[in-house]
Amino acid sequence: MRAIRFQPGGVVELVDLPTPEPAEGEVLVRVAAAGVCRTDLHLLKEVASGERAPLVPGHETAGTVQKIGPGVGRVRAGDQVVVHFELPCGKCRSCIQKRTNLCTQGAALGFSVPGAYAEYVHVPEDVVLAAPRNLEPEAAATLACSGATAYHTVVTLGGADERDVVAVIGSGGVGLSAVQVAKARGAAVVAVDPREEAREAAKRVGADEVATPEEALAAILGASKDRGADLVVDLVSTGEAMQLGLAALGPGGRLVEVAPGGEGISVSPSLLMEKEITLVGAHSSTMADFARAVDLAEARLLKPVVARTAPLADAESVLRALENGEIVGRAVLRP
Ligand SMILES: [Zn+2]
Ligand SMILES: [Zn+2]
């Protein structure tokens, strides 16, 4: 099968690999669509610097079950499916507590095992859900990371509800999903992004207000009658973004940090104490988050924004465009 591999030195190469066979409890999925996530850029940098071994990336997968392995009961060949990328061990303390996103013993599709930038992936049937019937595979694929991460961030950790003012900093793939999840919960949403196209996209998916980072504080205070936001979802996680997030929070507010790699800031304990502010990090998502994101998509409350589709061979140019900020929403490969 054809696949894209991140090779030493940061080369993005189209390679030919043996088509995998599904093992016990596994299904083989013919990949119809693979989302290109910003995390893939981090992985490419890590492979380039030698921190990480070469790999087949891709953790947003939609496709058709081609073949089932021994012992598979729920999923059948021919099913249209979406695939979650976390492959938790099922036995550790985090897994038993159903915080499978924090499992340290498991694997992850497109990280530690070959991912969806390929014609086929083999995964345990437990991480497979029926694809929403009303979505094309390109849109459905993105639910695995951008949709499920948005749900985990806005609802599971953020607890957004209809009384809340929610600010979303960064209107990329996850950000545009986060705006829609917050709207589905009935919250008022302010979306922040320096790029005009991204702000327009946020408006189209339902943001009540949009603002540049410079305008954001005034916009959030305006939307909350000077109280401040109840929830800030920070998908940028630079020092400036965190500073904005903290400054924008009202009493009892929650700041959720989603992106890795920012520089961080120092936070005064009295600020946290006086306003009872919660500062929390969001890592990935669980199958429960994924299932809720799929349900929202099926109910047409979450419409993934697919900015571009491209064949597998164009992976490198798509990654470059993403890095240059040219993609608003998700780019998706069609292996
Ligand atoms: Zn991702
Ligand atoms: Zn585990």
CB contact at 8 A, 263 and 45: no
- Residue 218 CA to ligand 2 center (angstroms) comes to 43
Same-domain status, 177 and 239: yes
Measured CA to CA, the distance from residue 225 to residue 139 in angstroms comes to 36
> Of the candidates 299, 284, 287, which has an alpha carbon nearest to the alpha carbon of residue 153?
284
What DSSP string describes 289-305? Answer: HHHHHHHHHHTTS----
- Residue 38 CA to ligand 1 center (angstroms) comes to 6
- From the CA of 144, the nearest ligand is 1
Same-domain status, 171 and 198: yes
In this structure, is residue 297 part of a structural domain? no
CB contact at 8 A, 25 and 71: yes
What does pTM read for this prediction? Answer: 0.95
DSSP 8-state symbol, 77: T
- From the CA of 88, the nearest ligand is 2
Same-domain status, 26 and 116: yes
CB contact at 8 A, 114 and 3: yes
Q: Is residue 131 exposed (0-12), middle (13-18) or buried (19+ Cβ within 10 Å)?
A: buried
User: Going residue by residue through the chain (335 aa), what tens digit of pLDDT does each one get?
Assistant: 999 999 999 999 999 999 999 999 999 999 999 999 989 999 999 999 999 999 999 999 999 999 999 999 999 999 999 999 999 999 999 999 999 999 999 999 999 999 999 999 999 999 999 999 999 999 999 999 999 999 999 999 999 999 999 999 999 889 999 999 999 999 999 999 999 999 999 999 999 999 999 999 999 999 999 999 999 999 999 999 999 999 999 999 999 999 876 788 999 999 999 999 999 999 999 999 999 999 999 999 999 989 999 999 999 999 999 999 888 889 999 99
- From the CA of 93, the nearest ligand is 2
For residue 240, the model assigns a pLDDT of 94
Measured CA to CA, the distance from residue 282 to residue 35 in angstroms comes to 20
CATH code of residue 135: 3.90.180.10
What DSSP string describes 165-211? Answer: EEEEE--SHHHHHHHHHHHHTT-EEEEE-S-HHHHHHHHHTT-SEEE
* Number of Cα atoms under 13 Å in the Cβ half of residue 300: 1
In this structure, is residue 220 part of a structural domain? yes
Please report, as a single letter, which amino acid is at residue 122.
H
- From the CA of 104, the nearest ligand is 2
- Residue 31 CA to ligand 1 center (angstroms) comes to 17
Q: How many domains does the chain have?
A: 2
Query: E strands along the chain, which residues?
Result: 2-7, 11-16, 26-36, 61-68, 80-83, 86-87, 107-108, 120-124, 128-130, 165-169, 188-192, 209-211, 229-234, 249-257, 278-281, 306-311, 330-334
Q: Is residue 217 exposed (0-12), middle (13-18) or buried (19+ Cβ within 10 Å)?
A: middle
In the structure, ligand 1 is a single-atom ion and the residues with CB under 5 Å from it are 37, 39, 145
Same-domain status, 120 and 184: no
- Residue 166 CA to ligand 2 center (angstroms) comes to 32
Same-domain status, 23 and 106: yes
- Residue 148 CA to ligand 1 center (angstroms) comes to 10
- Residue 247 CA to ligand 2 center (angstroms) comes to 36
In this structure, is residue 320 part of a structural domain? yes
- From the CA of 141, the nearest ligand is 1
In this structure, is residue 100 part of a structural domain? yes
Please report, as a single letter, which amino acid is at residue 161.
D
Same-domain status, 164 and 107: no
Same-domain status, 273 and 309: no
Which residue in this structure is represented by tokens 């109840």? 230
Same-domain status, 205 and 123: no
- Residue 283 CA to ligand 2 center (angstroms) comes to 14
Measured CA to CA, the distance from residue 288 to residue 24 in angstroms comes to 23
Measured CA to CA, the distance from residue 143 to residue 89 in angstroms comes to 22
Same-domain status, 25 and 106: yes
- Residue 285 CA to ligand 2 center (angstroms) comes to 13
Same-domain status, 95 and 200: no
Same-domain status, 205 and 327: no
Residue 177 sits at φ, ψ, to 5 deg, of -70, -40
β-strands 278-281, 249-257 pairing: parallel
Measured CA to CA, the distance from residue 227 to residue 225 in angstroms comes to 6
- From the CA of 115, the nearest ligand is 1
- Residue 80 CA to ligand 2 center (angstroms) comes to 27
Which strands form 209-211's sheet, in the order they lie side by side? 209-211, 188-192, 165-169, 229-234, 249-257, 278-281
Same-domain status, 310 and 270: no
Look up the domain containing 235 and give its range. Answer: 147-281
What are the CA-CA distances from residue 194 to residues 24, 146, 303, 331 (Å)? 48, 20, 22, 20
- Residue 153 CA to ligand 2 center (angstroms) comes to 20
- Residue 279 CA to ligand 2 center (angstroms) comes to 25
DSSP 8-state symbol, 127: G
DSSP 8-state symbol, 84: -
For residue 259, the model assigns a pLDDT of 82
- Residue 109 CA to ligand 2 center (angstroms) comes to 15
Terminal C-alpha separation, the chain: 10
